[in-house]
Amino acid sequence: MISARSLFQEIHDNDDAFRLFCSIAAKGEDQGGWENGRIAALVTDQELAPKIARHGADEDKHGRIFNALLHKRGLQPVGVPDSADYTMLLERQGIGLAHSRLRREDPLTDHDVLVYLAHSRVTEQRASEQMRLLVRVFGTNPEIGRAVRMISADEDNHLAYCHEELLRLSAAGHGPEILDVLRRTARAEIRTYRDVSLAVMAQMGTILRWSRPKSAVLALGIQLTYLYDRLGGWRRMTSLRTPAIHNALGEPAPA
Beta carbons of 168 and 247 less than 8 angstroms apart: no
Nearest to 80 by CA among 91, 71, 89: 89
Closer by beta carbon to Fe ion, 186 or else 218? 186
121 binds Fe ion (CB under 5 A): no
Nearest to 141 by CA among 2, 16, 1, 18: 18
Footprint (CB under 5 A) of Fe ion, residues 128-167: 155, 158
Closer by beta carbon to Fe ion, 127 or else 160? 127
12 binds Fe ion (CB under 5 A): no
What is residue 180's three-state secondary structure?
helix
Q: Report the C-alpha gap between 186 and 234 in whole angstroms.
A: 6
> Considering the complex, what minimum distance in angstroms separates the CB of residue 59 from Fe ion?
5
Nearest to 153 by CA among 126, 139, 132: 132
Footprint (CB under 5 A) of Fe ion, residues 179-238: none
> Considering the complex, what minimum distance in angstroms separates the CB of residue 101 from Fe ion?
20
126 binds Fe ion (CB under 5 A): no
Stretch near Fe ion under the rule CB under 5 A, chosen from 53-61, 104-112, 208-216, 246-254:
53-61
Q: Report the C-alpha gap between 35 and 99 in whole angstroms.
A: 8
> Considering the complex, what minimum distance in angstroms separates the CB of residue 65 from Fe ion?
9
| H/E stretch holding 216 | helix 212-230
CB burial readout 60-85, b (16+ within 10 A) else e: bbbbebbbebbeeeebebeebeeebb
> Considering the complex, what minimum distance in angstroms separates the CB of residue 191 from Fe ion?
21
62 binds Fe ion (CB under 5 A): yes
Counted residue by residue, the chain has a size of: 255
Closer by beta carbon to Fe ion, 29 or else 91? 29
Stretch near Fe ion under the rule CB under 5 A, chosen from 84-92, 95-103, 124-132, 213-221:
124-132
Total number of residues that touch Fe ion (CB under 5 A): 7
Closer by beta carbon to Fe ion, 35 or else 112? 35
Q: Which residues, at least 6 apart from 113, have a Cβ–Cβ distance to it below 8 Å? A: 43, 45, 48, 169
Q: Looking at residue 109, what DSSP letter applies? A: P
Closer by beta carbon to Fe ion, 155 or else 229? 155
51 binds Fe ion (CB under 5 A): no
> Considering the complex, what minimum distance in angstroms separates the CB of residue 129 from Fe ion?
12
35 binds Fe ion (CB under 5 A): no
Q: Which residues bind Fe ion (CB under 5 A)?
A: 29, 59, 62, 124, 127, 155, 158
